[in-house]
Every structure is written in C-alpha cells, then in structure tokens.
DNA sequence: CCCATTATTTTGATTAATCAAAATAGCCTA
DNA sequence: TAGGCTATTTTGATTAATCAAAATAATGGG
C-alpha cells in the first residue's frame, strides 16, 4: 500500500492537473503545493516514477500515469465521501470537514468506506460540489459549465481557462479570472453578444460570449 | 503532539499495567505487544523516559508516569468512543471495529471527537464493555467484580489475578483462568463455600470462595 | 558459588521523508 | 552570443523508527 506521503503527492498532482492547461506539473509548483523544498519534490517524484505512478521529464515536469491517476482517484474518493459523511451524518460544518478528511482519507478501511457510501446513498458530489469518483476510479466529469452556460447569479469558482495564448492569459491575470477565483455572472446580453461578470471584490467586467466560453466554472458552496 | 508510535506505546503500557499485578511492564513483554524486537522497545522507552512519559528502570521494566497515563487515557478515550460510534451510528459489526479504531484513534480531531461523544450521549462504556475515560482523562474504574461477586451465568472475561504465588499461578495456567480467558460462573454453593466455574470449552471447575475472590472479571459482550 | 540460560541493552545499519546549500541547466535579454 | 536570472537537481545531513546481531546482566540449578 502507498504511504500517506505518496498518496498526498498523487492527490495534489491530480488536482493540479485538473485546472492547469499544460499537461505536466512543474516541480516548483508541486513543491509549493506539498509544502516542501524543491529538492524534496524532485527526489520524491523520482521514487514515484520508479513505481510507474508518474512520468517524470527532468527539468520539465511531472504527470500522472494511468496507475497513478487511479490511485489518486481512490484517495480523492475517500476524501470526498468522508467530507460528505462528516456533514450529513456527523453534523459538522462544511467549512471544517476538509481538514478532517485530509487525515481520515488515509486510514479508513475499504469496508468502512463502502459502508459510508451506502449510508449516504451513493452520492455523486461532495459538500463543495466536487464530483466523487466511483469505487472503480471513474469520475463523473461534471458537464463542463462555462461562464456562458451557467446560471446568472450562481456563486462560481473558475476551474480552468481554455486558451493558452500568452497575451490572453496576461489579461486573465489582470482581470482576476484566474483558476480558483470566485466569480458570478451578473447578466448576459444576447444582442450585444456579451456577458457581465463579477470577480471577487473587483468591479464588474464585461466580455464577449466567445471569450466567456473559455472559462470553465464549477458551483461554489461558500 | 505525540507521534502515533508514541501513542501506541503508551496505550499498550496502560492496558498492560491494568491486568498485570506487578507495577512495571517487562521490556520483552512490551516488545511483544508492540510487535518489535526487544532492542527497539528499549530505545523507544528511553525516549519516552526523556519526555517524562514513563519511568524506566533498566533491566527491570517500565511504568507510566502521571503524564504518560494521561496521554494514554486520551488515546483510549478516542479508541473506545470511535468503536462505539462505528457500531451505533455507522452500523459496523462490533467484531470489526477494533481494527478500524486502531487507526482512527490517532487522526481524529478534538472537535470531531467531542461531536461523536455528544452524538452518543456521553456513553460510559464501549461495545466491549470497557470503560470510556472522560475528556479530562478520568476513568470510571468499574467496581472490581470477582468470580464471587458477579452474577451466575454472566459471560465474563478474567482481567486480573490477585495472587502472585508461583504455585498458584502455575495452577491458574493449567486451569485456563489466565487473564483474558472467557469464563462464567456455573453455580455457587455457600454451604460448601465453593464456586463452580466454566472456562472456555474446558470442563467445569470448582474452587473455594477465597480462591475465586482472587479473580477479577469484567462483563464480556461477545 | 559458578555456569548456563534467558532477558535486556548496545551497536551499527537501514528506510522514508525531509532540509540546506551548492551545482547545474535553460532561457531571455542586452 | 555572453551573461545573468531562475528553476531544478544534486549532494550531504538529519530524524524517527526500525532490525540484526553482538555484548552484557541477572537468575536459578546443580
């Protein structure tokens, strides 16, 4: 069985790959996510590569293999089921369950996990709206909602930006629509072919429908 | 915070001290309980002694300090509350919860623990009949039941033998009334000053009231 | 009272995960 | 194209927990 350190590296890699358009994750980024110095990430990733859990390109980055992704998905399944369990059955507040699940995800037996899954009625999403992978490691890829397809006023979080053009991404940075930022659609105007978006505490921002379609979003429960 | 290894050493020491009449636990015994070679136990115990969690007499044995006992009791509280939670709320079988609790006891937050305690209505004993220490580390020492004071027919487990005489202990070994064995009182005869006891699948056994009083027992829930 | 058996302690290595700091590679700019 | 900056990798140490095996102490029988 993978150590909890390995499980955490795989999990972070999976989550990072989700909303980073580039295929592979840079070592520095991984080190930051894991809260270790870069050298530690390098040596850990080499070990993961030896176990065929990741593909590692020195000086370029790291990417999960199919096996690594499966393992990551199982950890994420545990995490998200535990979160929902703690909210629904135990009655903790959804804001405190992430930290708790961070530990529990590594120690819960398969048996207990499936019992929890049953108790919750095989749920599809966790309290944050994130999808729960199946026991077979399949994720219900949420129908990719964008700033164009989502509901007006719904609290959202940007998950991914589908355009790699540098100038575009620079503008994204300035406008505060980077992955992770909290946004909501204020209004749409089909005649003007525009979408008005509010990002965090910034002034509202109007962009074209085609530009808005480049932003994948997910529902936010905060 | 103590590592989970330290928590486990302290827990084992506490449990062992419970039903061993001698004050201190021998190193070899501790090593066996922890599933490590004797040398490992020695070096670990030295570290515990440096942290003032145990008193260590080289070549004699080890004994929890007040601080060590407090820590042990907190671990045991976690363990037993988790066990009861898994049976009552999650619906696992009482036979499988020990293993599960063995892991969970180290990672559950104080908050979650108290929530579970509340959910269960501040219970006094776990599914095995073992008392649950309070949040302040107080144990309700169960009134010391013996083969003389318990109910006839009640399923019991021997917890302690109060006579250190070697010949007596040898006889205890032969008769199968060692700590941990499952017994029940078949009948008592005040006139004959005797107690008839059945131990596991052995033939029933009759001993004097004074001999029977040397056996501490606790209720068994199997 | 000495020796053999047994329990315990020492010693020296090992493994996983980490850090600090030096070395190196890649890339961009002047 | 030559520096120079930045990200990455190497190298050498460290810590916690462990084992194997040698050394040592205690105990009990002859």
**pLDDT over 60 (residue B222):** no
pLDDT tens, position by position, B64-101: 999 999 999 999 999 999 999 999 999 998 678 889 99
Looking at A64, A88, A107, the residue that finishes a domain is A64
**pLDDT over 80 (residue A108):** yes
* Closest chain B residue to the Cα of A104, Cα to Cα: B107
Is strand D in 7 Å reach of the CB of B118?
no
Residue B200 lies in a domain: yes
The pLDDT assigned to B164 comes to: 59
Instruction: Report which of residues A216 and A127 the model is more confident about.
Output: A216
Supply the CATH number for residue B47's domain.
Answer: 1.10.10.10
Residues 6+ apart with CB under 8 A from A173: none
The pLDDT assigned to A210 comes to: 92
Q: Rounded distance, CA B109 to CA B115, Å?
A: 10
Q: Rounded distance, CA A186 to CA A212, Å?
A: 13
Considering only A62-71, A120-129, A166-175, which range has the smallest mean pLDDT? A166-175
The pLDDT assigned to B181 comes to: 85
Q: Using H for helix, E for strand and C for coil, what is the string for chain B?
A: CCCHHHHHHHHHHHHHHHHCCCCCECHHHHHHHHCCCHHHHHHHHHHHHHCCCEEEECCCEEEECHHHHHHHHHHHHHHHHHHHHHHHHHCCCCCCHHHHHHHHCCCCCHHHHHHHHHHCCCCCECCCCCECCCCCCCCCCCCCEECCCCCCCCCEEEEEECCCCHHHHHHHHHHCCCCCCEEEEEEEECCCCEEEEEECCCCCEEEEHHHHCCEEEEECCC
Residue B113 lies in a domain: no
pLDDT tens, position by position, A79-106: 999 999 999 999 998 778 889 999 999 9
pLDDT tens, position by position, B151-188: 999 999 887 777 756 677 778 888 888 877 899 999 99
Domain count, chain B: 2
Residue ranges of chain B whose CB lies within 8 Å of a chain A CB: 86, 89-92, 96, 99-100, 103-104, 106-109, 111-112, 115-116, 119
- Percent of all residues in chain B with a pLDDT value above 70, rounded to a whole number: 95
Residue B81 lies in a domain: no
Instruction: Report which of residues A168 and B71 the model is more confident about.
Output: B71
Contact of A197 with A149, CB cutoff 8 Å:
no
Boundaries of domain holding B30: 4-64
In strand D, the nucleotides that come within 7 Å of a protein beta carbon are: 7-12, 16-22, 25-26
Angle at the Cα of A212 from the Cα atoms of A207 and A214, rounded to 5 degrees: 140
Looking at A17, A35, A64, the residue that finishes a domain is A64
The pLDDT assigned to B159 comes to: 77
Q: Rounded distance, CA B116 to CA A109, Å?
A: 19
Residue B26 lies in a domain: yes
Average pLDDT of chain B? 90
Average pLDDT of chain A? 90
Q: Which residues of B touch A96 (CB under 8 A)?
A: 111
Highest mean pLDDT among A23-27, B140-144, B156-160: A23-27
Contact of B32 with B25, CB cutoff 8 Å:
no
Residue A205 lies in a domain: yes
**pLDDT over 70 (residue A22):** no
Instruction: Report which of residues B114 and B129 the model is more confident about.
Output: B114
- Mean pLDDT computed over B32-60: 97
Residue A94 lies in a domain: no
The pLDDT assigned to B25 comes to: 96
Residue B127 lies in a domain: no
Is strand D in 7 Å reach of the CB of B76?
no
Which nucleotide C1' is nearest A31 CA?
Answer: D8
Looking at B46, B64, B82, the residue that finishes a domain is B64
Confidence of residue A201 (pLDDT cuts 50, 70, 90): confident
Supply the CATH number for residue A166's domain.
Answer: 2.30.30.90
Residue B99 lies in a domain: no
Instruction: Report which of residues A107 and B141 the model is more confident about.
Output: A107
């Amino acid at each position: 069985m993978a150590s909890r350190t390995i499980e955490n590296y795989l999990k972070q890699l999976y989550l990072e790959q989700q909303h980073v358009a580039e295929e592979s994750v840079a070592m520095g980024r991984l080190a930051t996510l894991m809260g270790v110095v870069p050298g530690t990430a390098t040596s850990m990733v080499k070990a993961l590569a030896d176990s065929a859990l990741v593909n590692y390109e020195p000086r370029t980055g790291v990417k999960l293999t199919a096996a690594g992704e499966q393992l990551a998905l199982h950890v994420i399944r545990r995490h998200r089921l535990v979160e929902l369990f703690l909210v629904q059955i135990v009655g903790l507040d959804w804001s405190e369950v992430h930290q708790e699940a961070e530990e529990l995800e590594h120690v819960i037996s398969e048996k207990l996990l499936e019992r929890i899954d049953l108790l919750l009625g095989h749920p599809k999403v966790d309290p944050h709206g994130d999808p729960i992978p199946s026991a077979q490691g399949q994720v219900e890829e949420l129908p990719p909602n964008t700033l164009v397809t989502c509901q007006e006023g719904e609290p959202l979080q940007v998950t991914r930006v589908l355009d790699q053009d540098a100038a575009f991404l620079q503008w994204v940075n300035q406008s505060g629509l980077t992955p992770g930022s909290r946004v909501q659609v204020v209004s749409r105007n089909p005649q003007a072919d525009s979408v008005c978006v509010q990002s965090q505490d910034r002034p509202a921002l109007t962009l074209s429908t085609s530009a808005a379609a480049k932003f994948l979003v997910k529902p936010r429960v905060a």
